[in-house]
Amino acid sequence: MVTIIKNQLLKHLSRYTKNLSPEQISLSALRGSGELQDLTLDEDLLTDLLELPAWVRLSSAKCNRASFRIQWTKLKTVPIVLNLDEVHIALEVCTEPRVMNPGAAGAMPVPGKYSYIHKVIDGISVAVNQVQVDFNCDAFTSSVQISRVTVESRTPEGRKGDLRLTRIKSPDTGQLLIFKELEWQSARIEAKAYGDAAANLPPLRLLLGNTHCRIVIKKRLSDCAVTGSRLVVRPEPLAWALTDGQLRAALACAAALAGPVRRATRAATRAAAARKIEEPREQIQSRASTGERDLLARMFAKHDVRETSYHLLAPRIDLHLCDDPGLGRSEMPSLGKGGALQVTLVSMQADLFPYHKASDDRRHWRGYREAATPHSQWLSQALSTFCTSLLDTLDPRPLTPSNKQQSHQEKTEAPVSNGLNHKTTATSPQAAHNPSTNVTSQASPTRTRILQQLSKLMTTCLVLRIDDFTVNKVSTGSKSRETPRPLVSAEKATLPGDAGLLHAELTFFYYPGDVCFPVPAPKLYVQLSPVRVSVDVPSVVWLSAFLPHVARAVATAAAADDQASYIDVRTEAIMPKLVLEAGPEHVSQQRDRPKELHICTARATFTNVRESPRSNTAGTRADLASIISCVRRAAPRGGEFPCSPDDLDPIHEQFLLHADNLDDIDRGSAISPELLWRESRSVWCARVEPLWADFCGARATNYKPAPLLDATPLTAWLYFEEGFSRIWVIGRTCGLAGLQLNHYQLLFLLRTLERVAEMMAWLAHDAARQPDGDDGSIVAGIVVPAVELTLVLPSNCPGQESSRDLDSVPLDSSSLQDLKLGSEATMAPSMQDRDSAVLSLPAPIEVCSAQPLPAEEVPPSPGIGFGGFSSMRRGLTSLVTSLDALGRDDSRSDAASTASSDSERYVLVGLAAESPDDADVAFREFEQGRMSSGVEVAAEVVERSSSPSDHSLASSCRRRDLISTCTWRLNNIHLVQQSAGGKSCLRVAADDLSTDECAAIPWDEFQIRLKNKFSMRARAWTEPVVDETELTTRDTPHVALRLIRNELPKQVDEKGESGLALYEELLEARVRDLSIALNMSTALALAEFIEDEIIAPPMPLEVLLENVKLHLIEDRPTRSISSPPPQPLDMELSSLRVSRDSTGVVYLGPPLATPSTVTSPATPTPQHDDSADRIEQLSKENEELRKRLVTLARIAEDNRELRAKVEEASVLKQCVHAAQQEAATLLADKQQLLDAVRVLQEQLSGCRSKR
């Protein structure tokens, strides 16, 4: 008996093994156990049987010992146990996709109906003591050691139990769900590069702890085919320490695998999608026919796998990044011995959906909340635009009376919705196969085929969600051990507890099968919730040296991939905050000195996709053309101060081409997937709506924010050339920019600017060390319509309170009780024009804004405006909880009441009685862990900020000390910053410098009046209309500055180290045609205002004053009663030169006819007499060219208007055609109704006559 069984077993196993003999098999038939020794498997056959990816091939598979145990009497409830001791597997990477072996089809079992044998096989449990996987590639070799691997059947709740509880069968749909769990105790991953790269890349070693993998397999009962699966990997918290060399090795390995994996996956995904595309429709129809009354159908629907998906749920990942000596380590002295950066990711979830239909909704995606993020809406809009463009490109026929209504119907159905509505796309299958459903019989066959093909569009979507992450500041060995301080951290207090911090989606499009048809471009959408970013000089310098050195490992592979470079990107950051902290020079005795400067915005977007031309918002090509025109008008004439012939133009040629839509990519006319990838993606648009800045941490304001910059929207356009080595930026602010500053805030800004200058110097120094580091440049041009800078000065008149411009706004003393945070007050005017739901929560912006303070300086909790939101959130949370509990009770009672005598249904009824509503236990546990941490933080913030004494604290913190103010206003400011080749230049030009003074006013009243003044002016301000005479460049500006900074040659010390290069600076200024009136007390206060606390080396400067009038009013009291009243002092400077050299000596005199001793590229040089005629001739030619430029600009503007009118006329024409068609339809309906009435009347009269 044993021999017969052994021979039968040998006969079946010989097809999958090599050189298997009876002596290697020991068998006990009665006990149901056996053992096999030294198994060598057929690698070619197993490669095809296991359906390994086409980019990998199994080259060797061995097992030293395998044993099994079968309980013959309990096969229905107890699984077969297969134990393997050591398994050795060798894999090879195929450069070209592998072709399946034809001989493998004969070894595969013939598919048949799902039977008892399949139940037994599906329930087998496997336990492996150790698995050794060797992976060989052309560029590297790696090995993976996994210990204590188990594969077991589990219930849907992840518990061990009866085998009948591990599967759910739906007889109505003819499908089966099988639940498995894969677990390993530990895994060790090692990778090492080959060849020349091995000397520069160290081995990569990673350790993984206990990991659970939940697997759900969906089979068809008719032929046992697998129609879908879900894999959920959940590792334990991970902690990895990686050097830059190991990161480069990991990226190099990934880059080496990217090409083969992409080529093989593309074909495999299309083939698999062709088999799966009809499956969801069958499921939906079958599910609708069964209904929810059947318990079996309800259980199956709750755990159903509608589409194949792969998930990674990581509760926590700690990365410790360290730098190795070399180019990846900065030469900054504090970082000379190296540094380490800690990155902590909490509740990270990565989901991959390879076979998602573009027209289907996402409600069945586990943990995906469409209402919480705008990604689905962005994708829906992009797909609608693509569908319209495709129809216009492939079927550009004009509308005719026979197909107007059909075209109108197709346009309403064509947009592929993947967002909020989730409607079907294109033409439905019934309409596609039933011509009678069409409105007319003369529909275009081309358009019908296009819509049918669009309905098959599939996507591969990768979703990444992170609930919380923290990046700590760089720690060095020279520092004493201290608590890590965050460099980048989340501000969870400003969001509800269930909101995530980062949500990113990467989507690729394709068609099932081997179909060559246009597809949308890949899309990357990212949304970032509130984060706090601190500017730490060592950390920024460390990252600037570490990251480029790591990224260079894959730069070559990324540059060779042309298709991957074309991608639509849209990123959005909600309420980010940039924090500049005070250094060690902070003096606690100075009550007005802040500790931090917060630069905030309500929303920041960054995208390379243009908005619709019909949308009247920033981000369109018309907006870019407007900014280009604005920058040109504000720029001084070429060659005039502060410009120089050597300066770079901030308006790159690519901006001009992009604004006129002349930079499209030529894709030809042949049908290809990239047919519509024509719009250039090299120009980026950044919008900040709005931008404001606050000082925080001053004891004089009770640690509340003090405004520096009023809320101002900013739009900037960027162009990157040669990667990121050359950058051009142009931008414009909308509205008035209000600034206020006191003496101690100025000191804080000066020290901060010194640290920023040091940081920029080290960044340039480290960039020059990198290969091709000297070729970089950046040019930024910004235009600001108007700026008001209010200087807060000490009052010299304690008994007076007056304000000229501020008195125009009436003061309501009761408004002092409603004084809010500075950031909220400044953001309020600009938020009236925003429709974002996030902006309706301004109060929590500054809940956790300051660093931990000493015990004697702990500020009170600012809870203004947060109590209502917290109570609303608590009420909604309790409501949702009660509804969930009610739903669970109903489902359990229904499940318990529908038990029957059927064994399988009885098992499922028992399963339903103890099963919660959430289908997958892995997702439920992950969500509970994520929500618990978020709720804990939110509860803590709410409890502190909803104190009943908040209003009393706010009212007791008023400042009644008197101050005086001096407001300086500048109009039409043009600012250009350029840096290239170790040289940098800052150019500023402005017009209409005016002043306004206020002798004495209480500080809190000044803040309220200033807030009201800027809010009223911001609402009333509109961009001036540009006439034809303003198309030329501006005249000579009234105020012009030029700051030049040149790097000096580096000096090598005794150790052979160059260190940070020194630099020389020169400040040039030109002031002309100005008339300024000031009080003498204000002038003296300004002198004290600009006085620094340290003695800095004098900066060489040269100032030229032309036609400047100064009117000084003596407002100080006289010392003697008998003295006559003081008279004002008038000064008129027709021409004066003020210069200072590097030693600090100041020179006063007339303008020099010879070159100045303080040389500058922009200093005008005298001309010889013999060149006067030539200069006059050139001036005439320039004037003629200027006139032609004006004409060309006028023609270009007329062309834009004509194009807009043509487009508008086309739209109106289509609307008229549609209206005419609708009117004709209504007339036809009316005629039919009249005919029907006539027939009814005839029938009625006939009936009456018969009576």
Model confidence pLDDT, tens digit, residues 727-738:
999 999 988 899
Tell me the CA end-to-end span of the chain in Å, nearest whole number: 98
Q: How far is CA 134 from the centre of its chain?
A: 37
Decide if pLDDT at 871 tops 60: no
507 and 467 in a single domain? The answer is yes
Nearest to 178 by CA among 159, 151, 150, 153: 153
Higher pLDDT, 601 or 947: 601
pLDDT tens digits, residue range 313-360? 999 999 999 988 888 888 888 888 888 999 999 999 999 999 999 988
Calpha distance 910→164 (Å, rounded): 11
Which residues, 6+ apart, have CB-to-CB distance to 42 below 8 Å?
15, 16, 17, 18
Q: What are phi and psi of 564, to 5 degrees?
A: -70, -20
Q: How far is CA 691 from the centre of its chain?
A: 18
Please give the pLDDT value at position 1214. 83
Calpha distance 214→152 (Å, rounded): 10
Calpha distance 503→559 (Å, rounded): 27
The answer as to whether 87 is a domain residue is yes
Q: What is the DSSP letter of 513?
A: S
Percentage of residues in the chain with pLDDT exceeding 70? 74
The answer as to whether 484 is a domain residue is yes
Decide if pLDDT at 746 tops 90: yes
The residue behind tokens 């093909």 is 453
pLDDT tens digits, residue range 193-246? 876 666 677 888 899 999 999 999 999 988 888 889 999 999 999 999 999 888
* 741-750, 867-876, 905-914, 1012-1021, range with the lowest pLDDT: 867-876
pLDDT band at 481 (very low <50, low <70, confident <90, very high): low
* Strand extents, DSSP E, 891-1028: 962-980, 983-1002
Distances (CA, A) of 491 to 409, 530, 934, 970: 48, 6, 11, 36
pLDDT tens digits, residue range 1041-1082? 999 988 887 766 666 666 677 888 899 999 999 999 988 888
Higher pLDDT, 519 or 138: 519
Instruction: Tell me how many degrees the CA angle 541-545-551 measures, rounded to the nearest 5.
Output: 135
pLDDT tens digits, residue range 1182-1217? 877 887 888 888 888 888 888 888 888 888 888 888
396 and 540 in a single domain? The answer is no
Calpha distance 484→471 (Å, rounded): 10
118-137 burial by CB neighbour count: b if 16+ within 10 A, else e?
A: bbeebbebbbbeebebebeb
pLDDT tens digits, residue range 762-821? 888 888 887 766 567 899 999 999 999 999 998 775 444 444 444 333 333 333 333 333
For residue 1125, is the peptide bond before it cis, meaning its omega torsion is within 30 degrees of 0? no
Q: What would you report as the CA-atom Rg of the chain, rounded to the nearest whole angstrom?
A: 37
Number of residues in the chain: 1251
Q: What are phi and psi of 482, to 5 degrees?
A: -145, 165
Q: Are 365 and 356 in contact (CB under 8 A)?
A: no
**Range 34-54 average pLDDT:** 85
Calpha distance 417→746 (Å, rounded): 53
Could you tell me whether strands 1039-1047 and 1063-1079 are parallel, antiparallel, or unpaired per DSSP bridges?
antiparallel
pTM, full prediction: 0.76
Nearest to 470 by CA among 627, 344, 333: 344
Please give the pLDDT value at position 1189. 82
Q: Are 759 and 809 in contact (CB under 8 A)?
A: no
The residue behind tokens 């120009």 is 683
Structure tokens at 931: 């929500």
11 and 51 in a single domain? The answer is no
Calpha distance 1008→812 (Å, rounded): 9
Calpha distance 388→425 (Å, rounded): 12
Please give the pLDDT value at position 777. 86
- Highest averaged pLDDT of the listed ranges 18-27, 44-53, 476-485, 1084-1093: 1084-1093
405 and 531 in a single domain? The answer is no
pLDDT band at 751 (very low <50, low <70, confident <90, very high): very high
Decide if pLDDT at 824 tops 60: no
pLDDT tens digits, residue range 658-702? 999 898 888 777 888 888 888 888 899 999 988 999 999 888 888
Please give the pLDDT value at position 977. 94
**The residue type at 668:** G
Please give the pLDDT value at position 960. 65
Q: Are 356 and 307 in contact (CB under 8 A)?
A: yes
662 and 625 in a single domain? The answer is yes
**Range 1114-1136 average pLDDT:** 81
Please give the pLDDT value at position 555. 67
Structure tokens at 1036: 């000579």
**Range 397-422 average pLDDT:** 45
1070-1105 burial by CB neighbour count: b if 16+ within 10 A, else e?
A: bbebbeebbbbbbeebeeebeeeeeeeeeebbbebb
Decide if pLDDT at 851 tops 70: no
Please give the pLDDT value at position 1039. 92
473 and 347 in a single domain? The answer is yes
Please give the pLDDT value at position 203. 87
Calpha distance 383→425 (Å, rounded): 10
- Highest averaged pLDDT of the listed ranges 46-55, 108-117, 941-950: 46-55
Q: Are 842 and 690 in contact (CB under 8 A)?
A: no
Please give the pLDDT value at position 207. 92
Q: What is the DSSP letter of 802?
A: B
Calpha distance 589→916 (Å, rounded): 60
**Range 917-946 average pLDDT:** 49
pLDDT band at 433 (very low <50, low <70, confident <90, very high): very low
pLDDT tens digits, residue range 144-200? 999 999 999 999 988 998 898 899 988 778 899 999 999 999 999 998 887 666 667
684-723 burial by CB neighbour count: b if 16+ within 10 A, else e?
A: bbbbbbbbbbbbbbbbbbebbbbbbbbbbbbbbbbbeeee
pLDDT band at 432 (very low <50, low <70, confident <90, very high): very low
1221 SS3 class: helix
760 and 642 in a single domain? The answer is yes
Q: Which residues pair with 1135 in a beta bridge?
A: 1106
Which residues, 6+ apart, have CB-to-CB distance to 871 below 8 Å?
946
Calpha distance 130→132 (Å, rounded): 7
* Strand extents, DSSP E, 1029-1145: 1039-1047, 1063-1079, 1101-1113, 1129-1140
Q: Are 607 and 569 in contact (CB under 8 A)?
A: yes
Nearest to 153 by CA among 210, 76, 243, 207: 76
Nearest to 1069 by CA among 1040, 1098, 1106: 1040
Decide if pLDDT at 93 tops 60: yes
Q: Which residues pair with 969 in a beta bridge?
A: 788, 994
Q: Are 622 and 873 in contact (CB under 8 A)?
A: no
pLDDT band at 435 (very low <50, low <70, confident <90, very high): very low
Q: Are 747 and 1043 in contact (CB under 8 A)?
A: no
Domain that holds residue 1222: 1184-1250
The residue behind tokens 């050097």 is 243
Number of domains, the chain: 6
Decide if pLDDT at 281 tops 80: no
Please give the pLDDT value at position 196. 64
157 and 195 in a single domain? The answer is yes
Calpha distance 1140→840 (Å, rounded): 52
**Phi and psi based region of residue 72 (left: phi greater than 0; alpha: psi -120 to 50; beta: remaining):** alpha
- Highest averaged pLDDT of the listed ranges 227-241, 841-855, 884-898, 1059-1073: 227-241
240 and 119 in a single domain? The answer is yes
Distances (CA, A) of 371 to 54, 376, 499: 38, 9, 11
Helices 279-290 and 244-276: crossing angle in degrees, nearest 10, is 60
Of the three residues 292, 319, 334, the one that is the final residue of a domain is: 292
Which residues, 6+ apart, have CB-to-CB distance to 995 below 8 Å?
966, 967, 968, 969, 1076, 1077, 1078
The answer as to whether 129 is a domain residue is yes
H-helix or E-strand containing 904?
helix 903-913
Please give the pLDDT value at position 859. 40
Q: Are 590 and 744 in contact (CB under 8 A)?
A: yes
The answer as to whether 640 is a domain residue is yes
Decide if pLDDT at 414 tops 60: no
Decide if pLDDT at 448 tops 80: yes
pLDDT tens digits, residue range 250-273? 888 888 888 888 888 877 787 777
Decide if pLDDT at 408 tops 50: no
420 and 351 in a single domain? The answer is no
Please give the pLDDT value at position 887. 43
Of the three residues 251, 266, 292, the one that is the final residue of a domain is: 292
Calpha distance 486→581 (Å, rounded): 12
534 SS3 class: strand
Mean pLDDT of the chain: 77
Higher pLDDT, 1014 or 405: 1014
Which residues, 6+ apart, have CB-to-CB distance to 969 below 8 Å?
786, 787, 788, 789, 992, 993, 994, 995, 996
Please give the pLDDT value at position 1181. 80
Q: Which residues pair with 782 in a beta bridge?
A: 731, 975
The answer as to whether 997 is a domain residue is yes
Calpha distance 1019→833 (Å, rounded): 10
30 and 56 in a single domain? The answer is no
Calpha distance 846→827 (Å, rounded): 12
Higher pLDDT, 1150 or 319: 319
pLDDT tens digits, residue range 352-401? 999 999 988 888 888 888 777 788 888 998 999 999 889 888 877 654 54
Quickly count: other Cβ atoms within 10 Å of residue 202's Cβ: 16
Q: Which residues pair with 466 in a beta bridge?
A: 348, 502
Could you tell me whether strands 706-721 and 596-607 are parallel, antiparallel, or unpaired per DSSP bridges?
unpaired
Q: Are 982 and 1046 in contact (CB under 8 A)?
A: yes
The answer as to whether 1137 is a domain residue is no
99 and 248 in a single domain? The answer is yes
The answer as to whether 721 is a domain residue is yes
The answer as to whether 890 is a domain residue is no
Q: Are 504 and 373 in contact (CB under 8 A)?
A: no
Calpha distance 389→397 (Å, rounded): 13
